[in-house]
Amino acid sequence: MPRILAVDEFWGQGFSEPGAGSDLAGLRTKAVLDGDEWVIDGQKVWTSAGARADWMYVLCRTDPDAPRHKGISMLLIPVDQPGVEVRPIKNILGGAEFCEVFFTGARTSVDMVVGEVNAGWGVAMGALGTERGTTLLAEHLRIAGEVRQMIDEARTSGATERAVMRADLARAWSEAKIMEWNGLRLMSAIKGRGPNPEVHASIAKVFASEAHRRMGEAAMRAEGSRSELVGEGYGLDRLQQIFLSSRAETIYGGTSQIQYNVLSERTLGLPREPRRA
């Protein structure tokens, strides 16, 4: 923990796989004991900041004969070894925040397990339950700045002369404030002064991702025709970046549809969505 807090050591999350994103229990990366080490084979994808990670916490199937949500363990795996290959994934903005990671005979010590062996599903759900909201706690500061920039751009382009644009800007400002309040409410829940923090995390996540996508669309209307122009080498201004990057926010970290299911089933007590056999 001291090395993480001092930013001397970076960690990546190895959860999602090709064919096992929202349906995380379908993961196929496996770990087999070999003496006092685990041997890991498989592939992970959409690993945030994976190219800079020193370690990864990885969900692996450690009992292939157990039911889907059983037989999964969370292992801690050092990245700097021959059996780990990290490949950056270039996105529409030209960056490479995400990576795919291949494990081919990668190894880690037998004691590098979070929780109990074959009980990693509960550990992962606990982590994801709050991650969806806590990752947004500081984002409201950045988003409030984006809204101010959007307002300035609309004034410069003359877009504020239109009542529809003024309504868009008012909504963006209001939703930025709601994101801030959702974050404060989540922090209170995490500290034990409110309802289940996992519920608040889902509320904060689905609201922020849907609202930020609307903000990106409003930003393009605020820029007017200039929004269709890019700079040298496909250079994008900040509002154009928001528009493009926000398209993925309703997918990563748990799709909006998954969040709606979580809230309807676990909070409102509505019937569960039919599952495929």
Average of pLDDT values for 210-221?
94
Does 210 share its domain with 251?
yes
Helix (H, G, I), strand (E, B) or coil at 111: coil
Among residues 117, 146, 179, the one where a domain terminates is 117
Q: Considering the domain boundaries, does residue 273 fall inside one?
A: no
Average pLDDT over residues 205-222: 92
Question: Among the three residues 82, 97, 117, which one is the final residue of a domain in this structure?
Answer: 117
What's the pLDDT score for residue 85?
96
Residues 6 and 65 in one domain: yes
189-205 residues labelled b (16+ CB within 10 A) or e (exposed): bbeeeeeebbbbbbbbb
Instruction: Based on the fold, state whether residues 55 and 145 are members of the same structural domain.
Output: no
Higher pLDDT, 10 or 198: 10
Which pLDDT value is given to residue 199? 78
pLDDT of 167 reads: 96
Which two three-digit tokens encode residue 117?
Answer: 């062996």
203 and 107 inside one domain: no
Residue 272 is assigned to a structural domain of this protein: no
Whether 190 and 112 share a structural domain: no
If asked whether residues 51 and 91 sit together in one domain, one would say yes
Query: Confidence band (pLDDT; 50, 70, 90) for 194?
Result: low
Residue 40: name the closest of 65, 59, 68, 19 by CA.
Answer: 59
Query: Is 131 among the residues known to form the active site?
Result: yes
* Averaged confidence pLDDT in the chain: 87
Question: Are residue 147 and residue 166 in the same domain, yes or no?
Answer: yes
Q: Do residues 102 and 177 share a domain? A: no
Q: Are residues 84 and 147 in the same domain?
A: no
Rounded Cα distance between 274 and 62, Å, is: 28
Instruction: Supply the range of the domain harboring residue 27.
Output: 2-117
Q: Give the model confidence (pLDDT) of 99-114 as tens digits.
A: 999 999 999 999 999 9
pLDDT at residue 277 is higher than 60? no
pLDDT of residue 136: 64
Q: Report pLDDT for 19.
A: 82
97 within a domain of the structure (yes/no): yes
**Which whole-number Å values give the CA distances from 250 to 132, 144, 254, in the listed order?**
12, 19, 8
Instruction: State the DSSP H helix or E strand holding residue 123, giving kind and residue range, or none if neither.
Output: helix 120-134
The predicted structure's pLDDT at residue 31:
96
CATH number for the domain spanning 244: value is 1.20.140.10
Give the number of residues written for the chain: 277
Among residues 99, 117, 135, the one where a domain terminates is 117
Cα–Cα dist 29/51, whole Å: 19
Give me the percent of the chain exceeding a pLDDT of 70: 95
Q: Total domain count for the chain?
A: 2
What's residue 110's pLDDT?
96
More confident residue, 106 or 2: 106
Residue 114, sorted as left (phi over 0), alpha (psi -120 to 50) or beta, turns out to be beta
Model pLDDT, residue 72: 94
Burial 97-111 (b: 16+ CB within 10 A, else e): bbbbbbbeebbbeee
Question: For residue 194, is it within any domain?
Answer: yes
Rounded Cα gap, residues 151 and 51, in angstroms: 36
Determine which one of 37, 85, 97, 131 is catalytic. 131
Q: Same domain, yes or no, for 262 and 132?
A: yes
List, for residues 223-256, the tens digit of each pLDDT value. Answer: 988 888 888 878 899 999 999 989 888 887 778 8
* C-alpha separations of 155 from 33, 185, 227 in Å: 63, 33, 15
Listed as own residue / partner, the contacts of 236-243 with beta carbons closer than 8 Å and 24 or more positions apart are 236/93, 238/146, 238/149, 239/146, 239/149, 239/150, 239/153, 241/93, 242/146, 242/212, 242/215, 242/216, 243/216, 243/217, 243/219
Residues 92 and 148 in one domain: no
Is the domain of 90 the same as that of 132?
A: no
pLDDT in tens, 34-93: 999 999 999 999 888 788 899 999 999 999 999 888 999 999 999 999 999 999 998 888
pLDDT digit string, tens, across residues 120-155? 998 888 777 666 656 666 777 889 999 999 999 999
Q: What's the confidence (pLDDT) of residue 131?
A: 65
Q: C-alpha distances in angstroms, 184 versus 18, 118, 137, 181, 188?
A: 35, 35, 8, 5, 6
Whether the per-residue pLDDT at 275 is higher than 80: the answer is no
Q: What is the pTM of this model?
A: 0.77
- Over residues 209-224, mean pLDDT: 93
Q: Which residue has the higher pLDDT, 94 or 27?
A: 27
CATH number at residue 103: 2.40.110.10
